[in-house]
Structure 1
Amino acid sequence: MKRTRLGSQGLEVPVQGLGCMGMTTIAGGNIYGLADEKESIATIHRALELGIDFLDTADLYGPLLNERLVAKAIRGNRDAFTVATKFGFEIDDHEQLTWAINGRPEYVAKSIDRSLRNLGTDYIDLYYLHRVDPQTPIEETVGAMGELVKSGKVKYIGLSEVSAETLRKAHAVHPITAVQTEYSLFEREPEVNGIMDATEELGVGFVAYSPLGRGFLSGQLKSPDDFEENDFRRGIPRFQGENFYKNLELLKEINKIAERKQVTPSQLALAWVMVKGVVSIPGTKRIRYIEENASAGEITFSTEELAALESIVEVGTTAGNRYDAGMMTLVNG
């Protein structure tokens, strides 16, 4: 797996990491169907063999269960991995989500100590604010995160789902290494809302989560009924009713290009993200998919192929929002 500098602060990662969210539940609900802990851990180990040593988790996932699963997978081999985790969705002392966003300095200090315990480590490589707390100035939150770097608990800090304006305010307080946001052939908004321009201007790395459009770009979904009963994607407008079938028509056109190149739709989508020069963290909990994803790095595009692919899914082409109304208020904070 090729490697790259993520941002300008010194962090080096593979161009493709591994999103671990789907390996556990969130608040008792499945993310992308049922997961098996043993297979999930084996997937993390296989990822390392393939050169994919960049793991992405968060205290939200579970809550806390995902970090604990990652801890089991990296135990005895911690320094071989670059571990990123996130905080901000408030978790109380009973390990229950309140669903409030908390970026207060005292909560920053509390969250990092909890994540260190859960991950079984004394440092986090990349520590993200998961969502911006509208009640706390970003300068205060990032100032507290910067203190974690000074103390050695964190090596680098990042932000998730922020606006260009927020990024500039934060970066003025402490260098931001990475911004994480949803980006894929089916979600190209970062190209036009200013955040990609801001990361380039400031020397901040860009990490694309859900580069497979939450599994839609795999080509395996044919109907909204293909989701398991408590799969959270059932609540996403993009995958509901008419929107699903409108997007399916776009996917059919993408699949034609994949067939001509003799690759899977997933590999095509991941290769496209790599061409855009950003780091992606596709999520999977199965060995066969981590192997398939890793092979995407070998795919190249002609100018004509790239233009044809991007003409299918221009910005704003896909139908339906990427989150429900409540969660949409938390993006681009």
Structure 2
Amino acid sequence: MVKLVGKEVGKLGYGLMGLTWRADPPSQEQAFEAMRTALSLGANAWNGGELYGRPERNSLHLLHEYFTKYPGDADKIVLSIKGGVVPGELRPDSSKANVSRSIDECLKVLDGKKFLDLFECARLDGKTPLEETIGTIAEYVKAGKVGGISLSEVGAQTIRKAHAIHPISAVEVEFSLFSTDILTNGVADTCAELGIPVVAYSPLGRGFLAGLYKSPSDIPQGSFLKFLPRFQPDVFDENLKLVKQVEELAAKKGSTPGQVALGWVLAHSGKKGWPEMLPIPGATTVDRITENMKPAQLSEEDMAALSEILQKFPVQGARYHAEGMKHAEA
């Protein structure tokens, strides 16, 4: 069982990004139904962001509305929020002034409806001393306003340095069959050594591994996926080959490819020297959430087959475009 800030959470968490950060976000009614479904099925670690939407409408506003209607759910959920960017932009600012502004704004919008269990800077700006950034969040932890500190998209050296400044409660990084870097770049090893759980975002390869996209034209207009290297027409079909192999394995197991992808992440959790892993798939419909909450149980033979697939069909393209990778250490 994974623990975040000393609290037990389900084997899968729930990513809130798609509920407020998309060209055509779902209605409040649909969002609430999705959130209640996730919680009812055991996903009590929720992950949102001040940057997931507009300054006037993001995860915090949705959460405030949710906990106003369902106050009894507040203590059941471990909430992690990403911030630390310039309001209205995706530009990180890890300075004391902006990190304080970000946390204060999150607390203001939540308005006491829900405790802020974890706060993390979505990215570090690369110029503010880490001591200043972590030290600022630590002040809120010591004051009892925030439960703990999480890190996002950082490398092994930063994890180690930050943990020495103040204990780190979680590290959020991309991890899936489409993004296996943490197994070889020292991030997973460092987290295992320090006893820090990994929060695996995009465990379904942003929907690619769930079989949502069979051609570039399947990607909705306005979706930021259209700008990501792995979804570009020149590499799309190559990456689809990996998905088709996963689909074949899933069919043999009576599972969906998404369930196999989630099972693969969970198969690493706490095994063979790896840290505890918490996948946080995001979904906006009851059917998709219900599917995600039934990850496939993978045997050693299944894992070996998936390793062979990864070797034969390496993912083409970077995780983000060049500008986006500037602040992604891992």
Instruction: Describe the SS at the equivalent of 1:90.
Output: coil
Q: Which residue of 2 aligns with 1:70?
A: 63
Do residues 108 (structure 1) and 99 (structure 2) align?
yes
Runs (5+) with no aligned partner, structure 2: 270-276
Correspondence list, 1:250-265, <5 A: 250-265=242-257
Is 1:41–1:70's contact at 8 Å kept on the other side of the alignment? Answer: no
Question: Which one-letter code corresponds to 2:84 in the other structure?
Answer: G
Q: Deviations over 1:121-162 (max 9, x none)?
A: 363111112111211011110011111111111111110000
1:257 deviates by 0.4
Q: Deviations over 1:6-47 (max 9, x none)?
A: 4xx52422120100001113xxx53xx642321111110111
Is 1:189–1:315's contact at 8 Å kept on the other side of the alignment? Answer: no
Correspondence list, 1:116-127, <5 A: 116-121=107-112, 123-127=115-119
Using structure 1 for the length normalisation, give the TM-score. Answer: 0.91
Question: Which one-letter code corresponds to 1:293 in the other structure?
Answer: N
- State percent identity of aligned pairs: 38
Is 1:188–1:314's contact at 8 Å kept on the other side of the alignment? Answer: no
Q: Which residue of 2 aligns with 1:86?
A: 82
Correspondence list, 1:281-320, <5 A: 281-296=280-295, 299-314=296-311, 317-320=314-317
Structure 1 window deviating more from structure 2 (315-324 vs 139-148): it is 315-324
Do residues 5 (structure 1) and 3 (structure 2) align?
yes
Closer, same or farther in 2 for the Cα pair 1:292/1:120, shift >3 Å?
farther
Aligned-pair RMSD on alpha carbons? 1.6
- C-alpha distance in 1, partners of 2:131/2:155? 14
Closer, same or farther in 2 for the Cα pair 1:157/1:315, shift >3 Å?
farther
1:315 deviates by 10
Q: Which residue of 1 aligns with 2:324?
A: 327
Question: Which one-letter code corresponds to 1:300 in the other structure?
Answer: Q
The runs of at least 4 consecutive aligned structure 1 residues that moved more than 3 Å come to none
Do residues 186 (structure 1) and 178 (structure 2) align?
yes
- C-alpha distance in 2, partners of 1:130/1:13? 22
- C-alpha distance in 2, partners of 1:113/1:157? 15
Q: Which residue of 1 aligns with 2:272?
A: none
- C-alpha distance in 1, partners of 2:313/2:319? 12
Question: Which one-letter code corresponds to 2:59 in the other structure?
Answer: N
Instruction: Please point out which of 133, 149, 174 is paired with 2:166.
Output: 174
Question: Which one-letter code corresponds to 1:217 in the other structure?
Answer: L
Do residues 153 (structure 1) and 145 (structure 2) align?
yes
Q: Which residue of 1 aligns with 2:273?
A: none
- C-alpha distance in 2, partners of 1:315/1:61? 36
